[in-house]
Structure formats: structure tokens, C-alpha cells
Amino acid sequence: MILHVGEQTLDLSHPVVMTIVNVTPDSFYAESRTPDEAQIRHRIAEAVEQGASILDVGGYSSRPGAEDVPPEEEIARIDRALRIIRHDWPQIPVSLDTFRSETVREIVRRHGPCIVNDITGGDADAEMFSTAATLALPFIAMHMRGKPDTMQSLTHYNDLCAEILDDLRLKRDRLYQSGVREVILDPGFGFAKTTEQNYELLAGLHRLGELGCPILAGISRKSMIYKILESSPAESLNGTTALHWECLRQGAVILRVHDTRPAVEVIRLFETFRKNNPIR
């Protein structure tokens, strides 16, 4: 699949890395926070140099217990990063990590087309799908339940993978019906899922291939890793890399990460392995 972001294109026939740029003071992994322009520029320069294919810019932390951020502050934070990206690295596609159509419209007005990366899959804002369609933007729809402050109380499933598949199928269909042409699906590791359920989801990730859309996996440094290892987000890079291989084996084509070079390297190794040993 060729992803179109305005005049930019991105070939998803091979896996790529989406690097997280958190323009926030409170994201769960402290080292990923870039609240000022010097830190933003350093992080972006490092990500691009190390092989990032997409920069995922967010101004609203979705960690449980995070404070609400008014739309104008979220827009100001994202704008700070986009001004730098568009000036110094105009060739790299950007995704907007937001669930607000107002934010999408204003950032696109100022900086041109981006990918929409909505953790609620359009559930939080009734105008999100139509906004993406009108602006001809690709859309990443994620599975979750509730809101960041309630999602971990909503983890009962009769059949986890089947229910996630059904939810994402519905979101995909609604997006297509709204006029969005390019849809990416994210099963939402860590969102309304227990640690054990995250591993059940990982084992069934390949099932999302039935929906015919590229799959994004966002597991970087999450609690499903550091709780098992009895460590912390800061100590979870090795575990992240190990699980990235399995995400690729299960069909993910976008790895959303904090650490660019390790993810690029695991993709390179996986592609070499797959070339010589086709996965059935």
C-alpha cells in the first residue's frame, strides 16, 4: 500500500518506523517529553537521522490520570513542533496524535496535510471522520474503551480478539462511508486491556489482516513489558525490541516507537530473515 499524505507518499509494502514526538510535560516515558523548541529539534533530528519514516506529534498525554489539556494549548504545542518539522524536514510525513477534529483542522490549515492518529477511533468527536474525509487525510483508528481515566475498568471481554476485530471493522467501514480513502488500524495495546490481555492480543494480531488495512503496533516501553520484567519504562527497551519482532511476524507494518534506531534495526533484521525464510 502507498500512503498518500498530501503530495508525500509512503510505501507500506515494507515495515516502517513511526517515532513519537511528545510535545507534553507529562507523557508516561519521561525521556520522550520535548516541551521546548531545543528539545523538539534535537529529538526530530535524531529520529530522522536514525531512519524514522513518520513523526507522530502529540500535545495531549493519554496516560491514565493525565490532566486535561484545553484545545488551544494542544494546538499550540503541536504547532511548535510542526513549525520546526516543516522548516527543517519538510520531506517527512507527520501524524497528529489527537482525538479532536478542531485540532486537526487548525494544524492542517497552518501546516498542510497530516495523518490523523486518533486513539479513540473517532468515538470522542463526531466530526473527526468527516474532517479527515474533507481534508483527504489518512486515518489511524485505534481500539479502546472509555477514556484514559476509565479505560482500565473496562477490560471484560468474552472473546478479546474477536471483539477488537469487530470494533475495528466497524470503524473501518464508517471511515470508508465517510469518504476517508486510506485507513490504518491499531489494536490499542494497553488501552482497556490487562497485561495478560495484551499478550493474548499480540498472539492474535495477525487476525487484523482480515480487514485489509495496514496494521500499526504501539507497544513501546508500555506496562505490558515493564510489569512483567518488574522494571520501569526507562528500563524497557530490550523488552520492547523483543516484542517488536513478534509484532512484525504477526503482520504489523508500522511500529510506533520511542527509540528509532533499535526499531529500524529490528525491521532490517526481520526483513532479511523473511527474505530467506518466508513466513507461512
CA–CA dist 26, 124 (Å, integer): 21
What distance in Å separates the CA atoms of residue 31 and residue 91, rounded to the nearest whole number? 25
Length of the chain: 280
pLDDT in tens, 161-212: 999 999 999 999 999 999 999 999 999 999 999 999 999 999 999 999 999 9
Helix, strand, coil share of the chain (percent; to 5): 45, 15, 40
140, 95 contact by CB (below 8 A): yes
- Taking the domains of the chain in order of start, what are their residue ranges? 2-276
pLDDT at 26: 57
Output the pTM of the full model. 0.94
Angle at 35 between CA 31 and CA 36, to 5 degrees: 115
User: What is the secondary structure of 105-153 as a DSSP string?
Assistant: HHHHHHH---EEEETTTTTT-TTHHHHHHHTT--EEEE---S-TTTGGG
Q: Which residues of the chain have pLDDT under 70?
A: 26-35, 63-67, 279-280
Q: Is residue 275 flagged as an active site residue? A: no
Pick the CATH number of 2-276 from 3.20.20.20, 1.10.10.10, 1.10.1660.10, 3.20.20.70: 3.20.20.20
Catalytic residue of the set 256, 261, 268, 274 = 256
Write phi, then psi, for 222 (nearest 5 degrees): -80, 170
Phi, psi of 8 (to 5 degrees): -85, 150
Active-site residue, from 77, 193, 221, 222: 222
What is the rounded distance in angstroms from the CA atom of residue 92 to the CA atom of residue 103?
Answer: 20
In the β-sheet with 139-142, what is the strand arrangement from edge to edge? 183-186, 139-142, 115-118, 94-97, 54-58, 16-22, 254-257, 216-217
